[in-house]
Structure 1
Amino acid sequence: MRRLFAALLPLLLLGAAPAPIPVEQPEIVATFPHDATAFTEGLIYLDGRLFESTGLEGQSVVREVRLEDGKVLREAEIDARYFGEGLVDWKNKLISLTWQHGIGFIWDRATFRKIGTFKYRGEGWALTRNDREIVMSDGTPFLRFLDPDTLKEKRRLQVTADGRPVPRLNELEWVKGEILANIWLTDRIARIDPVTGKVKGWIDVSALSAASGRRGRDDVANGIAYDSRKDRLFVTGKNWPVLYQIRLGKAR
């Protein structure tokens, strides 16, 4: 009996192995047209419209899009030297990033006129917000939390899954107290606890990626928008011809 206890003691001290992170399979609720030439970097649903930012030098824009038919209602071009990245709204403004130039742009949401710029260190990938802070990804396992009025960094949070850092955090969306994040070059969306940084679950969008007719290596899922009034979650990808409204299903 003593020998058995001695053999089991290390396991008892370590405790039970942590449960695997659940993986959810989304259900498609509806589909909408999406510009197949849009290298989607940021996506927002706001006041009945989609707002989208796109990337690639010479092709980067910030635009307003009608959900029902994908029609571009307005757009502002970003200077051709810049690779446009993420997008977020704050009050009457839209705020966008560039990839490697360390400069972001502030736009008047009513006129799409550029009204300011701001600077940051490192790369800019994506933006989202809650009611108090703007959250920024930069391609690393860290999320930056910014003051929404000054756009100065206040703090950082490392994102981990099973105790390991999660790199390549890309497009972000704040949904029901969680941060959803596309993981660049994968078909997974992370559900992140904004307090601990731990990944609570994965959303597997590989079936949506395949259904979209994905062509190139870069044409991955990237673009998450949430309609809080009607509790609708939308996802798309770079150069996808379709935008999906999804419902999260059972985890496995």
Structure 2
Amino acid sequence: MCIIAVANQKGGTGKTTTCVNLGIGLARAGKKVLLVDADAQGSMAVSLGVREPDNLDYTIVNIMEKVINEKDIADREGIMHHEEGVDFIPANIELAGLETALVEVMSREFILKLYLDSIKENYDYILIDCMPSLGMVTINALVAADYVLIPVEAAYLPTKGLQQLIKTIGKVHRRLNPSLEILGILLTKVDRRTNFSKDICDQIREVYGRHIHIFENCIPMSIRAAETSAEGRSIYYYDPKGIVAEGYQSLTKEVLKNEKQKC
């Protein structure tokens, strides 16, 4: 099985949308999938139909606290199920407080890994939606993961922060998780009507493409994709014949191809 962290310290890159639609795409391909919300904003939970994540009684915070305090976690405790075939663990604002508390915890970088290692035999894929930061919870996700998928918006400022993220992934690889690899860079919110987006995409392929896989198909800009979060459903349900669904279908196929080669 594979654990994939979907990460970018810049917000608004389509990170949560990618995590949800890739996960459901893998489930549609017959895979058992768990999505883990590791973002205090709870955006993934909202995208999966949880209207008020801050009102939830049980989230990834409770699970990680049990790991920290060495308490038993019951089978499927805290795991919810979405009608499109994926399991998920939600998060909410309490995760921000846990991030601060982790500073005082022994082996603080390995808390999420300890939990995921105990349940990963139940799944083919676990996808982690990371915070838009490089804090301790994101480091936990990188330590737990086999791969990192990096969504990058096809715009100037988001690409400027890409080098810092790659450096952080390199440090985690060297010091904490020697099996960690970059699965690839996914270009998102690409406006096909403008030469500017095309130039940004070409620049990323030129600068990073020699050393890092760039996914073949990008995710185009689409209002329909933004509307899926309010529906609590994937793009496959909301706009199955649209250009964004086509993009995520292509991404799913590339990830499955990688599974045959490496996982």
More helix by share: 2
Higher relative contact order (CA 8 A, sep 6+): 2
More strand by share: 1
User: Do Structure 1 and Structure 2 share a fold, with TM-score over 0.5?
Assistant: no
TM-score for the superposition, normalised by structure 1: 0.33
